[in-house]
Structure 1
Amino acid sequence: MSEFDLLPDGARSELETLNHLRIEVGVFGTDDTYMPMIASVNEFGANIKSKNGKYLTIPTKLAGDHKASEFSDLFFGTGKNGGHFLGKENGKGGIDVYFWCVNEVHIPERSFIRSTFDENLGSWVDRCADWLVEVATGDMSAKTMLEKLGNVIVKDIQAKIRAIQEPANSPATIERKGSTSPLEDTGHLIQAITYRVVEL
């Protein structure tokens, strides 16, 4: 008789079930959906160029959440430093800049998923060891164990997003967002982090 034979009724089955379950954590969707794209760009970094014109239009705080095409009264201009913009006269003898026009934008790598795994894997393994005892004693199901793990990982990734400060945002981005936190803006990325338990 082995120790495995001494397990409570159902516990052996739950331990075997762990071999047929997998947990996935991240931002889910198809490759062309918005939030997975945002997550990927920040996780790995990217160089972004305009697909439909010469320039990318980077909104200032004045533009808010609007696109350049939503404004009919903007003109194209060149600043003293040679930078291009879309703006309009402000009635006080000056010009309000609504969009900066650039050929390319470099988004630096700000890993929040891989780095969280690197920093927390040992802690997660320790938790799983404790939970595995509960599964073996019949006090927890295999699925519940993975759901608990999923919740812990999601919270750790969300905390990492809030904690990242480097590389810093550009001055224009800080002015528009009103924040120096590179990955926090609308909160959509944090909310998009989730997990799922998958049967193999």
Structure 2
Amino acid sequence: MKSINRIPELVAEMKELSQLDLVVGVPVDDEFLQMIARVNENGLTLRAKHNYLTIPTAAANGRKAKDIPGLFRPKGKMVLAVADKSSHNGIKVMFVLKESVRIPPRPFIRFTYNHYKDDWQSLMRRQVGLLMDGKATARSVMNALGRQISNDIKRTIKQMQSPRNAPLTVARKGFDDPLIDTGKLIGSITWKIERKS
């Protein structure tokens, strides 16, 4: 039986693997989602630049204060409203005025890393074993790891329920899921393979 020398192929794939980096999470070229991820990881206190922050209620329906005609501040109230004859008090609150708002940390990336890193190391060992058996390549190893890490981050986003959303946020969103609003954040979680510089 003829023997096959796979050592040069194995050496080449191991060298390739050592030259690759895996980037997992929010796309680095999306500044808005990067900001959302950082705020959730670390928390943030927002302070009004002028007088007050305008925190939208569900009635604002995604509009900004400048887009709502007839908006006014009722005397003695910390809200912006519009006249509404159907309401018991004659107004419909569109925004709540606050000097500052604290967004608590919801460290979904750190949590995922701390809870799944041992699983990722085990997966990497299994994948390198497949590579050595000729059943995987450097890129397929990295793709398997990226897929798993990405899925684990998404699982954390779906499952993280604490700290809860503020009541005003729940009313605006229509549900209480701290890391999910439009689905854009969770939908953006992916991975890419880069060559080390």
TM-score after normalising by structure 1: 0.89
Q: Distance in 2 between matches of 1:12 and 1:171?
A: 58
Cα shift readout 1:100-151 (whole Å, capped 9, x = no counterpart): 1111110001010011010001111111111111111221110111111111
Q: Distance in 2 between matches of 1:75 and 1:137?
A: 71
Query: Given the superposition, is the C-alpha separation of residues 180 and 78 from structure 1 closer, same or farther in structure 2, using an over 3 Å criterion?
Result: farther
Q: Give the aligned partner of residue 61 of structure 2.
A: 64
Q: Structure 1: which 4+ aligned runs deviate by more than 6 Å?
A: none
Contact 2:80 2:93 (8 Å CA) reproduced: yes
Query: Given the superposition, is the C-alpha separation of residues 137 and 55 from structure 1 closer, same or farther in structure 2, using an over 3 Å criterion?
Result: same
The code of the aligned residue for 1:10 comes to E
Q: Give the aligned partner of residue 22 of structure 2.
A: 23
Cα shift readout 1:139-171 (whole Å, capped 9, x = no counterpart): 111011111111111111011011111111111
TM-score after normalising by structure 2: 0.90
Select the residue among 67, 86, 89 that pairs with 2:83: 89
Could you list the runs of 5+ residues in structure 2 that have no partner in the other structure?
none
Q: Distance in 2 between matches of 1:41 and 1:10?
A: 45
Q: Distance in 1 between matches of 2:59 and 2:75?
A: 18
The reply to whether residue 55 of structure 1 matches residue 19 of structure 2 is: no
Q: What percentage of residue pairs aligned between the two structures are identical?
A: 35
Cα shift readout 1:2-42 (whole Å, capped 9, x = no counterpart): xxxx64551221111111111011212358x2111111101
When structure 1 is superposed on structure 2, of 91-100 and 127-136 the one drifting more is 91-100
Contact 1:151 1:195 (8 Å CA) reproduced: yes
The reply to whether residue 123 of structure 1 matches residue 116 of structure 2 is: no
Aligned-residue CA RMSD in angstroms?
1.6
Contact 1:7 1:137 (8 Å CA) reproduced: no
Contact 1:78 1:85 (8 Å CA) reproduced: no
Could you list the runs of 5+ residues in structure 1 that have no partner in the other structure?
1-5
Contact 2:47 2:101 (8 Å CA) reproduced: yes
